[in-house]
Structure 1
């Protein structure tokens, strides 16, 4: 049975794949993200927003890549990533929280109904923690 992955349906991933695959610009961005934010592809980092963030950085730094020295480009791209990462991460965290609430296991609905509000919140946090470090996105170029 074929399982659809985010890479199959993400237009940002497709744009990266077709326009930047194998480029030095993309490689430097991915390299810096791995060094500066090791969990950037997980739900604790950018998760499903990773391709959108990468395409934003690529588009935002293309002019510098074409016109500046390589060292100036690296300084610019590293600054832009560091400056914008937290904004994308906050959006991802909000989206992830909503997704977890929607996907929270309902196989034992009677069990969850018997919980107090505080107990339910604890169980939901445990569920979110179990999903947070999952690799939500892989760049397979």
Structure 2
């Protein structure tokens, strides 16, 4: 489990800058807009953030369907937080999608394999074998 989950790159720096400049100062709309631009270009960390903004209604009107879309997109692109969120917030709770125990297990397992500590703990609790 590496601290350097995302490799240094221009997009990673931009995401961090958006958080420092706008999120921490509660300028959520500007933070959302910056992440959306990066997300539309397929950067998984930004896709996950956009899903989060839509889920909580930060800087944008709350929209659970758009949140699911962006969270799933990020999860499929390998973002471990999105994978965990897909399991925990959507499939386990039946938000936007039907409750689906198999999907919950699938996404927790993927997140755990990618080093998500909470997902690994969930896998242990649910009896899901994870080869790290």
Indicate whether the TM-score tops 0.5.
Answer: no
* TM-score w.r.t. length of structure 1: 0.31
* TM-score w.r.t. length of structure 2: 0.32
Structure with larger RCO (C-alpha < 8 A, sep 6+): 1
Q: Would you tell me which structure has more helix in proportion to its own residues?
A: 1
Name which one, 1 or 2, has greater alpha-carbon Rg.
Answer: 1
